[in-house]
Chains A and B, each alone.
Chain A
Amino acid sequence: MSLYYTQKFLYQLNRDPLAQRRFRDDLDGLLSEYDLTEEERAAIKSRDVGLLYVFGVNGQILMHYAALLGLEWNEYLDAMRQGVARHGPVRAGLYAMTGK
């Protein structure tokens, strides 16, 4: 796991229009600049918000990313729920589901 760099990638993407252009046009090149595992790279490339949530990406970073992807609010909440259903509980960080 290189959760730190997964979050750093998303942080840069969320705030930087140039990174957003590269996200569309040169994703492999952009991703090569971050020390990511294959699983993390695949989750980003498949825009798998649910798996990124399970990795433990900070929820605020992930929410901004979901907005960037154009996910509607309920779609975004469902993506996180489905991530947990498929991959198990959130593995790190502060944004675990309480289930209450």
Chain B
Amino acid sequence: MTTVFIGVCSHGPGITGRAARAEPGIRDEFYRHFGKMREAIEGARPDALVIVAAEHFANFFMNSMPAFAMGMAAYYEGPIEDEKWLAIQRTRIPGNADLSRRLIGSIMSEVDLAYAEEWKFDHGIMVPLHFLTPRYDVPVIPVNINCQGPPLTPLARAWAFGEALRRACDEVPERIAVVATGGISHWPCTPDSGKINEAWDREFLRRWTQNDRAALVSYTDDETYRDAGQGGFEIRTFVAAAAAAKGAKGEVWFYAPIPIFAVGCTIGAMHINSGEGL
């Protein structure tokens, strides 16, 4: 059992880039829970952090859009965005190509997976890393689930990927932390930015904490688009994290709609009960 942590968090670019515009009390409480997650990860002493992301056209485009992709590089770089806009400096982030290769080879026996020996991180990965591994001293292995270019990766396949990821992580000797990052309901990058369906979010998170597979994969894309916006498609990452927890229940450490961050800001973890770390 070498999966030492499984958690979820938000990644909206406003979380860093528009920090000064948020109400300080709720913002700082959110950041404090990012700090709690950083401490939990540090306490779990991971050799690598697998970050299951929903990227936003930093690497993958509709000329060749994989349902799943995983990084297999010695290093990555990011953010692609303007550094001042995101308030995160461009940097190089260590990877672990050998570990990637073993994980990818294992996952491929169950889920078709593209691999990538170069990968530029956008806010979807850089914002979580900014809080969770701020010294960029933990090797990162990025994963992407297609939440942007329809046809999107089906939720049931995101679940299957999460299961395969967990099995693969448990097969290797390295200690691996998994963080999945996405929004729940939100309407980012539109004039409706800041709109959040809190009731929908809380029901989704209830299903997530219960690790209820049937309920988690039951959302149709039409329903999600109607009730949770195009940003809601990113629930795929949360679904993968739930599957990776192999039936363990989850806990939401923090949830609050913060409109200037354009998302219901969420931090949570699965009680994977590895006997270590958490």
Contact = CB atoms under 8 A, between A and B. Distances in A.
A84 B189 contact: no
B18 interface: yes
Interface stretch (A22-30, A33-41, A59-67): A59-67
A64 B86 CA distance: 10
Given A15-B120, A64-B81, A59 B191 contact: no
Contacts of A77: 191, 193
Interface of B is mostly: loop
Contacts of A84: 191
Given A80-B191, A94-B225, A60 B150 contact: no
B76 to A, nearest CB: 13
A95 B195 contact: no
Interface string B195-225: 1000000000000000000000000000001
Contact of B188 (A7, A60, A96, A98): A60
Interface of B: 13-14, 17-18, 21, 56-59, 61-63, 80-82, 85-86, 120, 122, 148-150, 187-193, 195, 225, 229-230
Interface of A: 4, 7-8, 11, 14-15, 58-64, 67-68, 70, 73, 77, 80-81, 84, 94-100
